[in-house]
Chain A
């Protein structure tokens, strides 16, 4: 019995590679975010003196790091959206056209 178009698409190597790419990218981004945040927390828990170091009068490493993580988090979402709009959506359109 021939497979339906949908089933063929799911089984195709193109689709499988697409799913793999998507998760590779997402999990990498997630890992980066988790690493950044938990590094921040671990430093505070075990060696907070690092964050007390001053790089300018009244500007501590901690303040730079803290505000930096906030901006980093936002930039990460922006990078993801840019990638998705450019590459992921193109892949989606291509695969959908096979249905």
Chain B
């Protein structure tokens, strides 16, 4: 089956973050209330209860004046995902349509994937003791629905569809934007990391949106994949024994914090 993907058009997005709320509504996720730190983008990154955020970045130059760039960030569903390579339990898999899926039943909460991801997307959810992330709404798309974020986006900045077709659409759009005031407009996600299963139409270079211009897997990845992962079964008892003490103490501390954890603002 063809790769199905999301195309995000930054020239349309108003950063209303309906996508973020719709995602929580669908995935039944609680709010994570943190103090306002001087930027509309209240969550600096995704977290265990927040699978998608919108990055908001200000720029100013003589030519264009002030610019405020928005980019919806979530799991990129890389065609060749680093998380999948590092997961010791094989909790990650690819669906037929290209979504990177994480199986909570297999996840042991080791969080290696959170360090391996070039976009720092998967996050550890303390309450569940699992890593969580965007599923590209695989449960919805399997039923013929679109992802929750796409369905809700008020301005239609998100489109769900066949990756090839969306790429063609994106090319047309970028051509138009380049001729209409955005000479640096570009597509993001076509080639990065061998291709992402989330595509972006950007009105400027990726760095203006807080996106890594050349995302890279970490150097240790090959070592990990070739040496550690195959022998993981052997390593688990060792690792467990080695970290038993710290494991227990961490848990005690974590439990103590629970009382005023995520809902600290309430």
Q: Do A and B bind each other?
A: no
Which residues from chain A sit less than 8 Å from chain B, CB to CB? none
Chain B residues within 8 Å of A, Cβ to Cβ: none
